[in-house]
């Protein structure tokens, strides 16, 4: 089941990917029916990054980053590395050397359900990472895993080539084949939000804007 490297994965179009990044995690997640979020413990190592890219997935044993090297060869411009350990682990699989190598191949960032280290260097390099932990603990290169196989990462099922969106709110995965549809829904949602924001800023209440008063009364809410 391990020991497989899939070389030719399909990717969504870069235009769609970049447009999803602009929408951001919260909007994209809403636009695809409130699905696709990774767990809330996945936090960025620095604030302000907002990226999207195609997932090159890594299934790696706990405490062993051998497959990261294998995965880096599979990266294409604009991809995102996404690592799921085969059992819970917070070791620092990834640091500035691997980031240098990944960045040289056009990689936009790392999503890892484990630890990362050299975060000061990564911040200076502007290589964004969303991780479960920051931990200097080193890893070995003794046991194989797989690259570009389906994984569950921080509670979300991810297939290679799926679109990953990540920002200060966390990380969201959009299945590759849904990317265009989700983008359309996300952009529609954004358009509507502008109008709503103006009204709310002007003091209109959500209760009125969303016409909630009657339904609240029916549910039995009492003002005292």
Residue ranges in 150-209 that form contacts with a second copy under rule CB under 8 A: 150, 152, 155-157, 167-170, 172, 193, 196-197, 200-207
Burial of 187 (0-12, 13-18, 19+ CB in 10 A): middle
Q: Cα(155)–Cα(38) distance, rounded to whole angstroms?
A: 6
96-104 vs 66-74: helix crossing angle, rounded to 10? 20
For residue 13, give the 3-state DSSP assignment.
Answer: coil
Q: Cα(153)–Cα(74) distance, rounded to whole angstroms?
A: 19
Stretch binding a second copy (CB under 8 A), from 13-21, 140-148, 183-191:
140-148
Stretch binding a second copy (CB under 8 A), from 14-22, 144-152, 183-191:
144-152
Binding-site string for a second copy from residue 6 to residue 45, where x marks contact by CB under 8 A and - marks none: xx----------------xxx--xx-xxxx-x-xx--x--
Q: Does 79 bind a second copy (CB under 8 A)?
A: no
Give the residue with the Cβ less far from a second copy, 15 or 151.
151
Please name the helix (run of DSSP H) or strand (run of DSSP E) that holds residue 33, with its range, or none: none
From the CB of 74, what's the least distance to a second copy, in Å?
A: 9
Among 69, 76, 77, 184, binds a second copy (CB under 8 A): 69
Give the residue with the Cβ less far from a second copy, 15 or 126.
126
Give the residue with the Cβ less far from a second copy, 96 or 180.
96
Contacting a second copy within 112-131 (CB under 8 A): 115, 117-120, 123
CB 64 within 8 A of CB 143: yes
From the CB of 10, what's the least distance to a second copy, in Å?
A: 14
Q: Roughly how many angstroms between the first and final C-alpha of the chain, as a whole number? A: 62
Neighbours of 19 (CB within 10 A): 18
Give the residue with the Cβ less far from a second copy, 15 or 41.
41
For residue 133, give the 3-state DSSP assignment.
Answer: strand
């Amino acid at each position: 089941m391990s020991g497989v490297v899939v070389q030719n994965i399909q990717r969504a179009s870069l235009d769609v990917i970049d447009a999803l990044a602009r929408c951001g995690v919260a909007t994209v997640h809403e636009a695809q029916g409130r699905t696709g979020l990774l767990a809330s413990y996945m936090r960025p190592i620095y604030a302000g990054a907002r990226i999207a890219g195609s997932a090159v997935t890594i299934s790696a044993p706990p405490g062993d980053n051998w497959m990261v090297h294998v995965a880096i060869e599979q990266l294409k411009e604009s991809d995102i590395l996404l690592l799921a350990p085969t059992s819970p682990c917070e070791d620092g699989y990834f640091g500035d050397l691997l980031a240098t190598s990944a960045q040289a191949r056009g990689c936009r960032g790392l999503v890892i359900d484990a630890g990362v280290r050299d975060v000061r260097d990564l911040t200076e390099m502007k290589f964004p990472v969303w991780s479960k932990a920051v931990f200097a603990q080193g890893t070995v290169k003794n046991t194989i895993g797989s690259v570009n196989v389906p994984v569950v990462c921080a509670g979300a099922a991810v297939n290679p080539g799926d679109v990953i969106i990540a920002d200060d709110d966390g990380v969201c995965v959009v299945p590759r084949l849904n990317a265009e549809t989700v983008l359309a829904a996300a952009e529609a949602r954004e358009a509507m939000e502008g109008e709503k924001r103006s009204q709310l800023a002007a003091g209109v209440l959500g209760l009125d804007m969303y016409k909630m008063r009657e339904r609240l009364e029916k549910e039995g809410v009492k003002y005292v």
